[in-house]
Amino acid sequence: MKKFTCAGDIGPWREAVKEALEIKRDRFAHTHLGRNRTLLMLFFNSSLRTRLSTQKAAMNLGMNVMVLDVNQGAWKLETERGVVMDGDKAEHLLEAIPVMGCYCDIIGVRSFAGLKDRESDYQEKVIEQFIRYSGRPVFSMEAATRHPLQSFADLITIEEHKTKERPKVVLTWAPHPKALPQAVANSFCEWIGLTDYDFVITHPHGYELSPQFTGNARVVYDQDAALDGADFVYAKNWSAYAGDNYGKVLSTDRSWTIDSRKMALTDNAMFMHCLPVRRNMIVTDEVIESPQSIVIAEAANREISAQTVLKRMLESL
Ligand code: CP
């Protein structure tokens, strides 16, 4: 595997989940693969889970790991070509990328959407430049439009917890005080779209996601109706995608918060969220602390999704 930025890069999803579960059963079975290999993890944005789980995954494979927080201690990077660099950005990504490629074997990049210019965000300029100019396999640790390591972990988690061959999975928008990218929601749609699950998306009017990601999924604007009989409830906030409202918060309506009354509409559903989560905005204390909440198991599987991707990349070197 030379790149991992979207669901299509994983190949047949059942094989990928099978491989991931084998890794989970014996996560030190492939320590020889990473010997004398170095992973560079590059963060343009903050992280807790991605940083720790990916580093742990690389260590399980015997790799050396370097982590660079671009905004703390590195030169400020210009990402646009053609800019007269007379401001505060001292280095261009077009030099920085091949230089970083000299020091490592695999690169992971986290670079969120700016939420100002939809076209620019959806071109995925930053990670695409890493793929083009680093000379190394590159994987996304959340880019502008997708978070594939999260979605792969989500799929592994659903497969582990499902009690029906074809569960009903509901992605529900939930309120948040700040504008967040669509990446987790887009990616969840893309990965669940690989399966034959009964997949429903619910959100207030104005929060429609790109059809590129939602595909044939059913969109139900009545959240209670969407939750009826659900086996998994995946809550997430995202800012508006459509038109002039791109990147805006259109609603903080707390009637969309997932609470016990809403969970009672489901078929004893499991509650999922990628974390970090704003309690009593996205989900009530009661629900996230309930036995139905599998958010910690979901986060634990981030190590497994990352290790599966890194293993495949090491095998391709
Ligand atoms: N879910 C997730 O990617 O968490 P972090 O932002 O903490 O890495």
Note the pLDDT of residue 36.
98
What integer is the mean pLDDT of 82-97? Answer: 96
- Taking only the tens place, the pLDDT of each residue in 120-131 is 999 999 999 999
- Atom number, ligand 1, closest to the C-alpha of residue 141: 3
Based on its alpha-carbon atoms, the radius of gyration of the chain, rounded to whole angstroms, reads: 20
| Residues 6+ away with beta carbon under 8 Å from 16 | 10, 152, 308
Does residue 93 carry a pLDDT above 90? Answer: yes
Q: How far is the CA of 88 from the centre of ligand 1 (A)?
A: 28
- Taking only the tens place, the pLDDT of each residue in 169-222 is 999 999 999 999 999 999 999 999 999 999 999 999 999 999 999 999 999 999
Q: Does any ligand 1 atom lie closer than 6 A to the CB of residue 280?
A: no
Q: Which residues pair with 140 in a beta bridge?
A: 109
Q: Does any ligand 1 atom lie closer than 6 A to the CB of residue 74?
A: no
- Rounded (to 5) percent helix, strand, coil in the chain: 40, 15, 45
What integer is the mean pLDDT of 6-11? Answer: 98
Q: Which residues pair with 139 in a beta bridge?
A: 4, 108
Confidence class for position 298, pLDDT limits 50, 70, 90: very high
Give burial (CB, 10 Å; 0-12/13-18/19+) of 26: exposed
Task: With 0.95 as the threshold, say if the pTM is over it.
Answer: yes
Pocket test for ligand 1, best of 41, 43, 50 (most atoms within 8 A of CB): 50
- Report the mean per-residue pLDDT for the chain: 97
Strand 138-140 to 3-4 pairing: parallel
- Atom number, ligand 1, closest to the C-alpha of residue 48: 7
CA angle 62, 65, 69 (to 5 degrees): 160
Q: Does any ligand 1 atom lie closer than 6 A to the CB of residue 305?
A: no
Pocket test for ligand 1, best of 302, 303, 304, 305 (most atoms within 8 A of CB): 302
Note the pLDDT of residue 186.
98
- Taking only the tens place, the pLDDT of each residue in 140-168 is 999 999 999 999 999 999 999 999 999 99
Q: Does any ligand 1 atom lie closer than 6 A to the CB of residue 50?
A: yes
- Taking only the tens place, the pLDDT of each residue in 227-259 is 999 999 999 999 999 999 999 999 999 999 999
Q: Tell me which residue of 123, 216, 150 sits closest to 10, measured CA to CA.
A: 150
Note the pLDDT of residue 73.
83
Residue 105 and residue 38: Cα distance in Å, rounded?
Answer: 5
Q: What are the distances in angstroms from CA 265 to CA 177, 227, 230, 233?
A: 26, 6, 8, 11
Q: Does any ligand 1 atom lie closer than 6 A to the CB of residue 65?
A: no
